[in-house]
């Protein structure tokens, strides 16, 4: 990909209004945690607006489960976490209490005019460890939340975050689990207002989003350990496409997964090897999450990367 392609994308998409504030927050966070290990973790899907005043957009399946769970395991392992997530997708800690689950854990006790809302006793042991980890991560300023919605917000934020992380060198880990759109409608081809059905069915021409892994690996954070994810629905393509990505972008690790089995199986693909991480039914039934093993293995690859760069 030529530099012109990705520069053109940035030139034709205005940065999100909150970008300067995010830059400041990320800069402060990185300074605070230097020289410790820090992970930039991306999570959730991106939208592709079809109108400038957006009523309709193209989206994808990702709920951000992988990213939100992985963030907790990175914190458990001492990393500072920049959690870059799709607004309204799952977040670390609160993900355990989504929807009606939280309300089911509470009970109302009324004595005359005194009303108390308590956690039901059988849920205390579930909530307590999660709540204490949440409190300590926030007290110690170990996690920073920055959000995006559209694919262009995502790409702007990714670039700015990388610029802030350059000075962390090899201590920086990029864990790119977000499901980023490969297609978009160029700004100058988008109607300003809501498309009208009275005008007939629209014909929408999508264009390719440039793969930002190219400038990211080569220019933005050349010393960082970069992990990308590869999602396929056809298992037969998984390894060949992951190897293709490693050859093309020159990073060190692709974690490959298939849509239907992603909760219990992933394949680590490096330039030299590949190995599978699998959860069996018993492990899944007991609440073990595959992200715990993914993060453990990624951390040991990151350690190896730091050792290699330090010895040069
Ligand atoms: O959120 P969950 O429901 O838990 O699901 C988790 C997941 C399936 C989304 C996650 O495990 C995963 O596989 N994420 C990556 C999916 C994906 O977008 O794959 P891809 O083949 O489109 O992209 C491969 C890599 O290229 C990605 O790491 C992405 O950061 C990068 N990319 C993508 C598009 C783009 N324009 N530029 C990029 O650099």
| Beta bridge partner(s), residue 116 | 109
Question: Among 67, 154, 176, which residue has the most ligand 1 atoms within 8 Å of its CB, making it the best to mutate?
Answer: 176
- Residue 311 pLDDT class (50, 70, 90 cuts): confident
Q: Quote the ligand 1 centre to 197 CA distance (angstroms).
A: 33
- Which residues have CB under 6 Å of ligand 1? 62-66, 176-180, 182, 209, 211-213, 228-231, 257, 262
Enclosing H/E stretch for 25:
helix 19-33
Q: Quote the ligand 1 centre to 232 CA distance (angstroms).
A: 10
The pTM of this model reads 0.96
Strand 172-176, strand 38-43: pairing = parallel
282 pLDDT higher than 80: yes
258 pLDDT higher than 90: yes
Phi, psi of 183, rounded to the nearest 5 degrees:
-130, 150
Strand, helix or coil for residue 309: helix
DSSP 216: I
- Residue 2 pLDDT class (50, 70, 90 cuts): low
Query: Which atom of ligand 1 lies closest to the CA of 266?
Result: 11
Q: Quote the ligand 1 centre to 81 CA distance (angstroms).
A: 19
Minimal-distance CA residue to ligand 1 atom 17: 179
Counting the structural domains of the chain, the total is 1
Query: Which atom of ligand 1 lies closest to the CA of 181?
Result: 34
pLDDT in tens, 291-303: 999 999 999 999 9
- Residue 310 pLDDT class (50, 70, 90 cuts): confident
pLDDT in tens, 65-78: 999 999 999 999 99
Mean pLDDT of the chain: 95
1 pLDDT higher than 60: no
Which tokens is 154 given? 């995502």
Please write down the HEC assignment for all residues of 253-304: EEEEEEHHHCCCEEEEECCCCEEEEECCHHHHHCCCCHHHHHHHHHHHHHHH
Question: Among 48, 177, 262, which residue has the most ligand 1 atoms within 8 Å of its CB, making it the best to mutate?
Answer: 177
Phi, psi of 106, rounded to the nearest 5 degrees:
-105, 155
| Beta bridge partner(s), residue 239 | none
3 pLDDT higher than 90: no
For 12-24, what is the mean pLDDT? 96
Question: Which domain, by its residues, includes 211?
Answer: 3-310
pLDDT in tens, 148-195: 999 999 999 999 999 999 999 999 999 999 999 999 999 889 999 999
Question: Among 90, 161, 178, which residue has the most ligand 1 atoms within 8 Å of its CB, making it the best to mutate?
Answer: 178
* Domain CATH code at residue 193: 3.40.50.10300
Minimal-distance CA residue to ligand 1 atom 16: 179
């Amino acid at each position: 990909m030529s530099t012109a392609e990705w520069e053109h994308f940035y030139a034709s998409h205005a940065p999100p209004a909150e970008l300067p504030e995010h830059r400041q927050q990320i800069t402060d966070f990185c300074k605070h945690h230097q020289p410790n290990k820090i992970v930039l973790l991306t999570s959730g899907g991106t939208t592709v607006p079809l109108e400038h005043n957006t009523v309709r957009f193209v989206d994808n399946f990702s709920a951000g489960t992988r990213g939100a769970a992985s963030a907790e395991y990175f914190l458990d392992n001492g990393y500072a976490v920049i959690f870059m997530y799709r607004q309204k997708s799952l977040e670390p800690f609160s993900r355990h209490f989504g929807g009606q689950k939280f309300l089911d854990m509470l009970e109302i006790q009324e004595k005359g005019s005194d009303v108390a809302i308590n956690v039901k006793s059988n849920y205390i042991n579930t909530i307590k460890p999660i709540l204490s980890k949440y409190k300590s991560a926030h007290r110690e300023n170990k996690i920073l939340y920055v959000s995006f919605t559209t694919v262009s917000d995502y790409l702007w934020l990714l670039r700015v975050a990388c610029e802030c992380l350059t000075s962390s060198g090899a201590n920086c880990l990029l864990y790119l689990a977000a499901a980023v759109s490969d297609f978009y409608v160029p700004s100058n081809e988008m109607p300003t207002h809501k498309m009208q059905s009275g005008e007939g069915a629209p014909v929408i021409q999508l264009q390719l989003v440039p793969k930002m892994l190219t400038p990211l690996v080569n220019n933005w954070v050349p010393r960082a350990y970069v992990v990308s994810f590869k999602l396929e629905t056809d298992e037969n393509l998984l390894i060949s496409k992951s190897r293709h990505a490693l050859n093309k972008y020159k990073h060190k690790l692709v974690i490959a997964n298939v849509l239907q089995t992603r909760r219990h199986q992933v394949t680590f693909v490096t330039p030299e090897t590949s190995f599978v991480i699998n959860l069996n039914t018993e492990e899944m039934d007991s609440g073990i999450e595959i992200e715990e093993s993914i993060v453990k293995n990624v951390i040991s690859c990151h350690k190896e990367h730091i050792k290699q760069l330090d010895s040069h």
